[in-house]
Amino acid sequence: MLHIFLDKTKKRSFTRQIYTAIREKILSGELEAGKSLPSSRDLSRELCVARNTVLTAYDMLVSEGTVYSVAGSGFYVSSGVKCEPRSISVDDQQTASLSDFVITEKTINFDSGLPALDLFPRSKWNRTVSRAFMNAPVSALGYDDPQGRPEFRSVLCAYLKKTRGISCKPEQIIVTAGTKQGLSLAAKCLLDSRSEVWIENPSNANVKQIFSYHTEKITPFEVDAQGLQPKLFPVLGKPTLIFTTPSHQFPMGGILPMQRRVELTRFARKSGAYLLEDDYDSEFTYDAPPSNSLFELDGEHVIYLGTFSKVLFPSVRLGYLVAPLCLVPQIRELKRMADHHTNSTYQLALMQFIENGDLERHIRRMKKEYKNRRDCLLELLHTRFGEHVRIHGAAAGMHVVAEFEGAAFTGERIRRLLQSGVYVAPVENHSLTKGNHAHQIILGYAGLTTDAMARGLDLLKAELQLDTHLHPST
Amino acid sequence: MLHIFLDKTKKRSFTRQIYTAIREKILSGELEAGKSLPSSRDLSRELCVARNTVLTAYDMLVSEGTVYSVAGSGFYVSSGVKCEPRSISVDDQQTASLSDFVITEKTINFDSGLPALDLFPRSKWNRTVSRAFMNAPVSALGYDDPQGRPEFRSVLCAYLKKTRGISCKPEQIIVTAGTKQGLSLAAKCLLDSRSEVWIENPSNANVKQIFSYHTEKITPFEVDAQGLQPKLFPVLGKPTLIFTTPSHQFPMGGILPMQRRVELTRFARKSGAYLLEDDYDSEFTYDAPPSNSLFELDGEHVIYLGTFSKVLFPSVRLGYLVAPLCLVPQIRELKRMADHHTNSTYQLALMQFIENGDLERHIRRMKKEYKNRRDCLLELLHTRFGEHVRIHGAAAGMHVVAEFEGAAFTGERIRRLLQSGVYVAPVENHSLTKGNHAHQIILGYAGLTTDAMARGLDLLKAELQLDTHLHPST
């Protein structure tokens, strides 16, 4: 008698239940090496199942080597398959902290990267994706081109020429799963532990983190209201890579003037550095018309990073980089080893979306909407904080920086705000030299309604009133 | 007069054309610093466009700093914006070689990783994806959980328990863009330049390449017909990671017996090494019933890699890894920096596909089909090559290894076969010690019809008849 309990309410087949039960007994040592198993006839009677059910379970045990059969005699437990007891590997305490997300769907989230997801034309995109998938050639279901599908790259190429002034060939484009992947690929292609990297300060915190996987030599240089300042470049040192966000400096919001762009590309040519241009939200310009890209000025020293996270939606995980042709084979191979290629169906769908004019239509509509939301945010900030707030970088993009003289956005304050229901990111989080930006926060407005913004700012005001000198009258 | 030519057939707006033309003249130095631009009234008359069109173009130039305006006077070229001429960055010659793909849709492709794409239930999957996207919560459109959506991980967890005997918590699962990404993440998490890695020999060539980004200390150990041999483990050295494919050794096809699994996990526990288990095609077993995973024997020393490339289709780019809980926070962060997260819609769709039973139904159907295709391939090989061919690893998976005594599958021969219309991969490509596998090729059969296989093998036979000693009678 093996004392196997078959649970008829379980989804698992009887065969599998028998197999698992016997296996457990063998691995635990309860059934010792050399011991014979009951005959299939006996066990099937004992368990009231078909004899074949038992035989299949025995076959499974034999095929994995746990049990061996002797012709005409029966089934025996193999030697060497007793397994030391496992200690419990899952610690409930630790588990809880892992899934401890603090931003919920109810949080008023001033995150800078969130577009107006509720205004995204879901049905239209869905129809486009659906059609693209049904009409996709078989090759788009198999392992696809690591660089991205050639027909998509061609369409993207024309689109970039039209909208960003970028002259490139489809062979220079590598389709990525978004800007982070583009950054990783460029970093892996160009950097080793001896490489020097210069980055704008402040800069998106992820950027430094990605570079620091490769080198410790990361030098920040300060930006002003217009963006990076070539005159502040370190006098010594020879950077391999310079990271910049010329269209809308992140997070401070400057738009880099042409003089500095020319100086920057000239420096790159002279020093042999590559410029890594992150063009994350250049589609949205309000008080200024869209400027062209840095890539356009020097296609040989600029690696251009583009994304569809802001103009479509972040979870579409679709971006691209445009690189000088000499870097393409290596980046392409790194992309192949990273995840083989990016979603083929989405490439085909986006191709249609661009060709139909749907993408530009959506961008135009969002640009109008985001301008309204920005105006609304500025108005709300003004009525609530008056002269106590200063705004930076409002001319373009999806966020502003709000500066509260004398305030300090410490971790504790941010947590308290979060508990009260509003999330804002301190600029300090993105600063490489600590202490200069403690009084500034990033306010993304693209994803928020007027009502949500008003409530969020009320919560912010309530929190800041703790600093009495900010509002002596209240 | 600026001599600007407006092309009415172009898609670009007149504003953009004017902006670009003036900009080019300034960057090239044709319009020098300090020079005044024609008044908007004059230029609009000259070009026969509305005055506003010109004014907008001028505004764009001003906003980027190329031009400045003097109130009441007009527009002038800024200084410092002349740009050195770019050399031509796109070399046509090089471009051609980059897109030089040799495997076309017409090639009879014995690639081992290709499922039967024509039998995939496209409409059903499409409907599932479409519904998932339309019903997705807003959070599934924004930046999502780097580890994968919790509800998907829960369903996957139950599925793994049922089909692979894996007992884990959803918190241990990290959703990836496929096995290559899983390998990269595990490697990046565990390895540095001092780390020692042991890998099965032969092994998928990509595996060594991914590890070699981190360390040069990669030691191969030989497999036999049953898979890895713990008795051949190096006597010296202390591996950080051991790479293995116990369910169906790639490429040789062995299924690892229980004794060796126990020995292997015991070794891992003793030495502190992690076992990286790549379970790439374990769903398809024919002569043997499915065995369980290595992870099941020791969840603390095994990192399990799973993929949906074979059971759905490769371009779905959806896989996962199951890791000991202590490694999860670091791998999760590496995933976030690699590409933030994997496609949310597909996670939601696959969740439905699993819960509806559609996935298991499809796998059952494919298993039957692949068994037929395998039988057919073996029969075709037998009738064409008789005793000159020896087959390895046919009991499971989607490929076999065919061995032709005395033949040599050199690069030249593979290219010649490719030109004649058939692709086969030499085992030698995946061998870390050269010379032992020159007479063996991998024949993937899952994606090929009987007819295609027959034609492919005819081409192979014609090629091999050059080696007269193989077929003395013909």
SS3 B293: coil
Backbone angles phi, psi at B305, to 5 degrees: -110, 125
Mutate to test the interface with B, among A15, A54, A64 (most CBs of B within 10 A): A64
Q: Would you place residue B344 in the very low, low, confident or very high pLDDT band (cuts 50, 70, 90)? A: very high
> Are residues B139 and A255, on separate chains, in Cβ contact within 8 Å?
no
- Angle subtended at Cα B176 by Cα B172 and Cα B178, rounded to the nearest 5 degrees: 130
Domain residue spans of chain A:
14-77, 93-119+360-469, 122-356
Which tops the pLDDT comparison, B94 or B413?
B413
SS3 B95: helix
Are A301 and A264 contacting, i.e. CB atoms less than 8 angstroms apart?
Answer: no
* Rounded (10°) angle between helices A122-135 and A344-355: 120
* Rounded (10°) angle between helices A179-190 and A328-339: 120
| Domain B14-77 architecture | Orthogonal Bundle (1.10)
For the segment A103-121, the average pLDDT, to the nearest whole number, is 91
A416 burial via Cβ count (<10 Å: 0-12, 13-18, 19+)? middle
> Are residues A337 and B141, on separate chains, in Cβ contact within 8 Å?
no
Question: Mind listing the pLDDT tens digit for each residue in B205-248?
Answer: 999 999 999 999 999 999 999 999 999 898 888 999 999 999 99
Question: Mind listing the pLDDT tens digit for each residue in B368-400?
Answer: 999 999 999 999 999 999 999 999 999 999 999
Least confident of A87-101, A274-288, A330-344, B74-88: A87-101
Which tops the pLDDT comparison, B164 or A391?
A391
* Rounded (10°) angle between helices B450-464 and B411-420: 130
Structure tokens that stand for B394 in this block: 């046919």
Separation of alpha carbons A361 and A208, rounded Å: 35
Least confident of B4-8, B142-146, B250-254, B301-305: B4-8
SS3 A228: strand
Q: Would you place residue A4 in the very low, low, confident or very high pLDDT band (cuts 50, 70, 90)? A: confident
Q: Which of A89, A291, A339 is opposite residue B317, by nearest beta carbon?
A: A339
Size of interface A-B (CB pairs under 8 A): 274
Are B458 and B231 contacting, i.e. CB atoms less than 8 angstroms apart?
Answer: no
Side chain identity, residue B80 = G
Query: How many CB atoms within 10 Å of residue B217?
Result: 17
Q: Does B65 touch chain A (CB under 8 A)?
A: yes
Query: How many CB atoms within 10 Å of residue A340?
Result: 21
As beta bridge partners, residue A219 has A198
Q: Would you place residue B468 in the very low, low, confident or very high pLDDT band (cuts 50, 70, 90)? A: low
Which tops the pLDDT comparison, B64 or B397?
B397
> Are residues A133 and B126, on separate chains, in Cβ contact within 8 Å?
yes
> Are residues A133 and B141, on separate chains, in Cβ contact within 8 Å?
no
User: Where do the H-state alpha helices sit in B291-410?
Assistant: 328-339, 344-355, 358-385
Nearest CA in chain B to A78: B259
> Are residues B23 and A292, on separate chains, in Cβ contact within 8 Å?
yes
* pLDDT, chain B, mean: 90
Predicted pLDDT at A8: 73
Class of the CATH domain delimited by B122-356: alpha beta
First to last CA, chain A: 82
Separation in Å, CA B372 to CA B375, B447, B450: 5, 12, 9
Torsion sign over Cα B236, B241, B247, B248: negative
H or E stretch including A152?
helix A150-164
For the segment A402-425, the average pLDDT, to the nearest whole number, is 93
- Is residue B136 predicted with pLDDT exceeding 50? yes
Min Cα separation B259/chain A (Å): 5
- Is residue B308 predicted with pLDDT exceeding 50? yes
Predicted pLDDT at B84: 63
What percent of chain B is helix, strand and coil (3-state, nearest 5)? 45, 15, 40
Predicted pLDDT at A360: 95
For the segment A367-386, the average pLDDT, to the nearest whole number, is 96
* pLDDT, chain A, mean: 90
Predicted pLDDT at A95: 36
Q: For chain A, how many helices (H) and strands (E)?
A: 14, 16
Q: Does A20 touch chain B (CB under 8 A)?
A: yes
Using the structure block, give the residue that is written with the tokens 């000693």. Answer: B469
Q: Indicate the length of chain A as a whole number.
A: 474
Q: Does A315 touch chain B (CB under 8 A)?
A: yes
H or E stretch including A354?
helix A344-355
Min Cα separation A469/chain B (Å): 37
Structure tokens that stand for B164 in this block: 């692979």
Strands (E), B7-109: 67-70, 74-77, 108-109
A395 burial via Cβ count (<10 Å: 0-12, 13-18, 19+)? middle
SS3 A368: helix
Predicted pLDDT at B324: 96
For the segment B74-101, the average pLDDT, to the nearest whole number, is 56
Predicted pLDDT at B431: 95
- Is residue A158 predicted with pLDDT exceeding 90? yes
Q: Would you place residue A397 in the very low, low, confident or very high pLDDT band (cuts 50, 70, 90)? A: very high
Separation of alpha carbons B470 and B405, rounded Å: 8
- Is residue B187 predicted with pLDDT exceeding 60? yes
Same CATH fold assignment for domains A14-77 and A122-356: no
Residue by residue, DSSP assigns A294-328 as STTT-TTTEEEEEESTTTS-GGG--EEEE--GGGH
Question: Mind listing the pLDDT tens digit for each residue in B240-292?
Answer: 999 999 999 999 999 999 999 999 999 999 999 999 999 999 899 998 777 78
Closest alpha carbon to B136 in B122, B151, B116, B146 = B151
Which residues of chain A from 92 to 131 reach within 8 Å of chain B, CB to CB? 94-95, 98-99, 101, 105, 111, 113-114, 117-118, 120, 122-123, 126, 129-130
SS3 A97: helix
Query: How many CB atoms within 10 Å of residue B355?
Result: 12
Q: Does A247 touch chain B (CB under 8 A)?
A: no
Separation of alpha carbons A389 and A403, rounded Å: 5
> Are residues B64 and A315, on separate chains, in Cβ contact within 8 Å?
no
For the segment A380-385, the average pLDDT, to the nearest whole number, is 96
- Is residue B173 predicted with pLDDT exceeding 80? yes
Which residues of chain A from 162 to 181 reach within 8 Å of chain B, CB to CB? 162, 165, 168-169, 171-172, 176-178, 180-181
Side chain identity, residue A417 = L
Nearest CA in chain A to B89: A300
Q: What is the value of pTM for the model shown?
A: 0.85
Which residues of chain B from 347 to 386 reach within 8 Å of chain A, CB to CB? none
Separation in Å, CA B180 to CA A318, B183, B314: 18, 5, 12
My answer on whether omega of the bond before B202 falls inside 30° of 0, hence cis, is: yes
> Are residues A299 and B86, on separate chains, in Cβ contact within 8 Å?
yes
Predicted pLDDT at B13: 81
> Are residues A259 and B140, on separate chains, in Cβ contact within 8 Å?
no
Q: Indicate the length of chain B as a whole number.
A: 474
Mutate to test the interface with B, among A31, A135, A141, A287 (most CBs of B within 10 A): A141
B228 DSSP assignment: E
Q: Which of A82, A143, A257 is opposite residue B314, by nearest beta carbon?
A: A143
Query: How many CB atoms within 10 Å of residue A24?
Result: 13
Query: How many CB atoms within 10 Å of residue A65?
Result: 20
Structure tokens that stand for A330 in this block: 């290596």
Predicted pLDDT at B460: 97
Question: Mind listing the pLDDT tens digit for each residue in A234-258?
Answer: 888 899 999 999 999 999 999 999 9
Structure tokens that stand for B69 in this block: 């305006």
- Is residue B99 predicted with pLDDT exceeding 80? no
Separation of alpha carbons A311 and A359, rounded Å: 8
Spatial neighbors of A147 by CB under 8 A, at least 6 apart, are A153, A173, A174, A175, A328, A332, A335, A341
Closest alpha carbon to B439 in B413, B457, B421, B419 = B413
Q: Are strands B399-404 and B440-444 parallel, antiparallel or unpaired?
A: antiparallel
Query: How many CB atoms within 10 Å of residue B315?
Result: 26
> Are residues B89 and A299, on separate chains, in Cβ contact within 8 Å?
yes
A388 burial via Cβ count (<10 Å: 0-12, 13-18, 19+)? buried
- Is residue B471 predicted with pLDDT exceeding 80? no
Q: Are strands B274-278 and B302-307 parallel, antiparallel or unpaired?
A: parallel
Separation of alpha carbons A252 and A202, rounded Å: 8
Strand order in the sheet with A399-404: A389-392, A399-404, A440-444, A425-426
Q: Does B68 touch chain A (CB under 8 A)?
A: no
Separation of alpha carbons B34 and B116, rounded Å: 67
Predicted pLDDT at B89: 38
Mutate to test the interface with A, among B310, B317, B449 (most CBs of A within 10 A): B317
SS3 A345: helix
Structure tokens that stand for B331 in this block: 């791998």
Min Cα separation B237/chain A (Å): 24
Torsion sign over Cα A74, A78, A84, A87: negative
SS3 A423: strand
Residue by residue, DSSP assigns B35-62 as PBPPPHHHHHHHHTS-HHHHHHHHHHHH
Q: Are strands A274-278 and A241-244 parallel, antiparallel or unpaired?
A: parallel
Which CATH homologous superfamily contains domain B93-119+360-469? Aspartate Aminotransferase, domain 1 (3.90.1150.10)
SS3 A62: helix
- Is residue A474 predicted with pLDDT exceeding 70? no
